[in-house]
A and B are shown apart, each in its own frame.
Chain A
Amino acid sequence: MAEEKVCSEITGTVWKIEVGLGDKVEEDDVIMILESMKMEIPVLAPCAGTIKELLVDEGSAIAEDQTIAIVNT
């Protein structure tokens, strides 16, 4: 089983986490929503798999390219 990092493409603040540990996701499913540039911008699953780790909390400040979750593929 391989691990895939989920990274934020943009700087922002975590507004809402849409998945829980162990949840199954498909490619491009919304993992969490960031608030950035006064918009609600989703972070999408890069591949299908299961959520292994969530590395941030709602309200966390996120940098560009920061790993925010890990998906088991």
Chain B
Amino acid sequence: MSRHDELAEELKARRARVMEMGGEEKLAARKAAGLLDARERIDYIMDADSFAETGMLATSHIPAMRQKSPADGKVCGYGRIEGRPAAIVSCDITTLGASSSLTNVRKMGHLRRTAIRNGMPMIFLNETSGARIPDTMGAQGTGALGQDPEQFVRNREIPYVAACLGPSYGTGTWFTMLSDFVVMRKGACLAVSSPRVTSLAIGEAVELEELGGWKLHTQKTGLVDYAVDSDEEALDLIKRFLSYLPSHAGELPPETEAPDESAYDGAPITDIVPAERQKVYDVRKLIAAIADPDSVFELKPRFGRVATTALTRMGGKVVGVVATNPMFKGGALDPDGCDKITSFLVLCDSFNIPIVMLTDTPGFLIGIEGERRKAPGKIMNFISALQMCSVPKLSIVTRKSYGQAYLNMGGSRNSDEMAAWTTGDVGFMDPNIGVNVLYGVTAESDPQKFEELKAEISRETSAYDLAEIFSAQSVLDPRETRQWLMSMLDVHSRGRERGLSRRALASWPTTF
């Protein structure tokens, strides 16, 4: 055997040891529980034979731990998803709990900087116990951290996506919070610290689901977009999300083949949206009727449901749709709905995705709870974001649109082109409320007077009134919606930037 062969054998043996991860027993237990291991997850999401690992032979910096820390618990590398490049870090919880250490934080930093410099999305597959003990103990352990002054800066040069596939504490949680899309496996926990550490700190028992379970994060905090039952479903959703995003902010989102336009006659729209204002409907059906077939991908579907935010395609081009949903709270915008829309606007503008707004709202939901939850600040975050968006913005008033909510939803010059359906109804507030506010008359106190005054303040609230002063540029039969949107997207995407955003929102937070 030549010296080269001997050296090659040693390399082969070292690589084989890394592939064993935390050992046969731990891997078998995972398989029995229906969980993929860190490397199987990479194989599942990346195109076949496309993965190139970086830092494979990195280990703990503590000599006694080197044999026990293959890849130092975080498998990092580059590959392709549907032919497009992506960087990935996949936590190997069988190796020291995939805890964060000096070495694997350096690996992750290198991966992240490489992904940003080369324009490819960054994927975080989290299943980690948090900071490694004892490495980070004491002043020198803690002081050795934080050597990258831009570790937590998010300028959205590239998409970040995260999956919580088990416990996620510390660094795993921080990068999840910086991500544009988050999916969680049911049973996983996303929190600052584990239930055990939290229980010890506050002196009372804490349940995993209560501290950081899927219901909390998909319904109450909105920090997670989707909860799923398996690793495979989580990875499929990441692939789906990325299919709408450009690889980096310097390019437009990927296009698909445009469907046959002769298949659209717009007829379903008038079945979906009742002309009577008191009847509600699910705006998601309307979005599905105007988008390309099977192209609607809703974000945060269980959170802030007064608003629907969805990535879609129209004529094969990616479009972000923001809509109020009368099915929930009548479509009255609450603080969660505002936060959801703001984060979606930031996403769309940062990645060159045109925005379409569909409005049917009685206004902002007013009340003490809303004020306690900073409703005024959230309303201003929302409209500041909208006004700073420099991707094409189109808006349609489908039925009601009152007061400040009219402006927030792209009314007047808050969009590049605005239309109102023939059912449009725009004013300073809902006439039923307005009669009481202005004249102190209610339907109960004086029905006849109430109806007279309501008729008085309901005058000049139609789509035509809006069009006559050119605040709406068009009045549409609802059935013309798709055609109008496609035509206006074409017009407003032709600027000198050719649809590329000026990205004024790129460094805005991911949560509000």
Contact = CB atoms under 8 A, between A and B. Distances in A.
Interface of A: 9-10, 36-42, 44, 64
Contacts of A64: 367, 369
Given A9-B328, A38-B430, A39-B330, 7 more contacts: A37-B332, A37-B430, A39-B362, A40-B278, A41-B329, A42-B327, A44-B327
B280 A40 contact: yes
24 contacts: A9-B328, A10-B329, A10-B330, A10-B332, A37-B330, A37-B332, A37-B362, A37-B432, A38-B277, A38-B278, A38-B432, A39-B278, A39-B279, A39-B330, A39-B362, A40-B278, A40-B280, A41-B280, A41-B326, A41-B328, A42-B280, A42-B327, A64-B367, A64-B369
Contacts of B329: 9-10, 41
A36 B430 CA distance: 12
Nearest to B328: A9
A35 B398 CA distance: 21
The interface residues of chain B, by DSSP majority, are classed as loop
Nearest to B431: A38
A38 to B, nearest CB: 5
Most chain-A CB neighbours within 10 Å: which of B278, B327, B328, B330? B330
Contacts of A37: 330, 332, 362, 430, 432
Contacts, number: 36
Interface residues of B, number: 15
A3 to B, nearest CB: 15
A41 B327 CA distance: 6
B326 A39 contact: yes
Given A9-B329, A10-B330, A40 B279 contact: yes
B314 to A, nearest CB: 26
Contacts of B330: 10, 36-37, 39, 41
B280 A39 contact: yes
Nearest to B279: A40
Nearest to A41: B330
Contacts of B278: 38-40
Interface in B258-297: 277-280
Nearest to A8: B329
Contacts of B332: 10, 37
